[in-house]
Structure 1
Amino acid sequence: MGLTPILAVLALLTAGFPLAFAILRTPFLALLLAPLVAALSSTVAVVLMLVVGGPLPLWIALVLAAGAAGAWWLLRRPGEPVPYGGWPHVLLIALPLLPPCLLVFEPAFQWDAHSIWWLHAGYFANGSEYARAAIGSPAFVFSHTDYPPLASAPAAAVWSVVEPDFRTAQLVGATVTVSAIAMLAYLVRRTLDRVSARVAWPLAIAVGLASWSTASYGVTGGLADALWSAAFAGAVVALLLGADPLRRPLLPLLLLSVAALTKNEGLVAAAGVALLVTLRARADLRRAALVWLPVLAGGAWAVLARLLDAQSDITNGASQDADMVERFQLTIAALWDVVGPVLAGAAVVALLGTLFLRERRRAAGLAADGWLWAANGYYLAVLVGTYLSGPNDIEWWLITSVERVTLPVLLLSAVSLAGWVAAAFGDGHPAGSRPAIDEPREPALSGATPKAPG
Structure 2
Amino acid sequence: MDVSAILAVLALVVAGFPLSFAILRSPFLALLLAPLMAALLSTVAVVLMLVVGGPLLLWIVLVLAAGAACAWWLLRRPGEPVPYGGWSHALLIALPLLPPSLMIFEPASRWDAHSIWWLHAGYFANGGEYARAAIGSPAFVFSHTDYPPLASAPVAAVWSVVEPDFRTAQLVSTLVTVSAVAILVYLVRRALSRVSARVAWALAIALGLATWSGVTYGVTGGLADALWSAAFVGAAVALLLGPDPLRRPLLPLLLLTVATLSKNEGLIAAVGLALLVTVRARADLRRAALVWLPVLIGGAWAVLARLLHAQSDITNGSSVDPGVPAVDRFDFTVAALWDVVGPLVVGAAVVALLGALFLRGHRQATGLAADGWVWAANGYYLAVLIGTYVSGPNDIEWWLETSVQRVTLPVTLLSAVSLAGWVAVAFGGDGRAESGQMLDQPREPALSGATPTTNG
TM-score range, shorter chain: over 0.9
Q: How far off is 1:56 after superposition?
A: 0.3
1:227–1:451 CA distance, 2 compared to 1 (3 A): closer
Look up the match of 2:376.
374
Q: What residue number does 1:142 align with?
A: 142
Residues 1:79 and 2:82 aligned together = no
Equivalences for residues 51-90 of structure 1 within 5 A: 51-90=51-90
Distance 2:150 2:452 in 1: 34
The two structures have a TM-score, normalised by structure 1, of 0.97
Q: What amino acid does structure 1 have at the position aligned with 2:201?
A: W
Deviations 1:8-31 (A, max 9, x none): 011000000000000100000100
Given the two structures, how large is their TM-score scaled by the length of structure 2? Answer: 0.97
**344, 348, 351: which one aligns with 1:349:** 351
Tell me the residue number matched to 1:305: 305
The DSSP-based 3-state class of the residue aligned with 1:246 is coil
Residue 350 of structure 1 aligns with an amino acid whose one-letter code is A
Q: Deviations over 1:185-214 (max 9, x none)?
A: 000000001001011000000000000001
Deviation string, structure 1 residues 273-300 (Cα, Å, up to 9, x no partner): 0110000000000000000000000000
Match of 1:239 in 2: 239
| Number of the residue aligned with 2:324 | 322
Matched AA of 2:175: T
Q: Please state whether the residue corresponding to 2:219 is helix, strand or coil.
A: helix
Of 393, 412, 416, the match for 1:391: 393
CA distance in structure 2 between the partners assigned to 1:431 and 1:71 by the alignment: 38
The CA deviation at 1:322 is 3.1
**Unpaired runs of at least 5, structure 2:** none
Alpha-carbon offset, residue 315 of structure 1: 2.1
Q: Which residue of 2 aligns with 1:169?
A: 169
Structure 1 pair 270/440, CA: closer, same or farther in 2 (3 Å)? closer
Report the equivalent of 2:285: 285
- Give the counterpart letter for 2:274 in structure 1: A
Is the counterpart of residue 32 in structure 1 residue 63 in structure 2?
A: no
Q: Map of 1:251-270 to 2, 5 A cutoff?
A: 251-270=251-270
% identical aligned pairs: 81
- Give the aligned partner of residue 427 of structure 2: 425
Give a deviation string over 1:90-138, Cα, whole Å, max 9, x none: 1111110000000000001110000000000000000000000000000
Amino acid at match of 2:191: T
* Residue of structure 1 equivalent to 2:404: 402
Match of 1:161, as an amino acid? V
> Residue 411 of structure 1 corresponds to which residue in structure 2?
413
Q: SS state of the match for residue 217, structure 1? A: coil
- Other-structure match for 1:183: 183
Alpha-carbon separation, structure 1, partners of 2:452 and 2:270:
31
Partner of 1:334: 336
- Structure 2 distance, partners of 1:405, 1:66, is 35
Q: Is the 8 A contact 1:321 1:327 kept in 2?
A: no
Aligned partner of 1:202 in structure 2 is 202
Q: CA RMSD in A?
A: 1.5
Are 1:194 and 1:434, in contact at CA under 8 Å, matched by a contact in 2? no
C-alpha contact (below 8 Å) 2:39/2:153 kept by paired residues = yes
For the 8 Å contact 1:233–1:411, the answer to whether it is kept is yes
**How far apart are the structure 2 equivalents of 1:441 and 1:429?**
14
- Tell me how far apart the structure 1 counterparts of residues 380 and 135 of structure 2 sit (CA, whole Å): 30
Q: CA deviation at 1:439?
A: 2.3
CA shift in 2, pair 1:278/1:319, >3 Å: farther
Q: What SS does structure 2 have at the residue aligned with 1:354? A: helix
The CA distance in 2 between the partners of 1:320 and 1:229, in whole Å, is: 31
Q: One-letter code of the match for 1:364?
A: T
Change (3 A) 1:164 1:347: same
Which amino acid is 2:134 matched to? A
Which residue pairs with 1:225 in the alignment? 225
Q: Could you tell me whether the CA contact under 8 Å between 1:43 and 1:153 is conserved in 2?
A: yes
Residue 358 of structure 1 is matched in structure 2 by: 360
2:82·2:443 contact (CA, 8 Å) conserved in 1? no
Q: Specify the alignment match of 1:437 in structure 2.
A: 439
How many pairs were matched up? 453
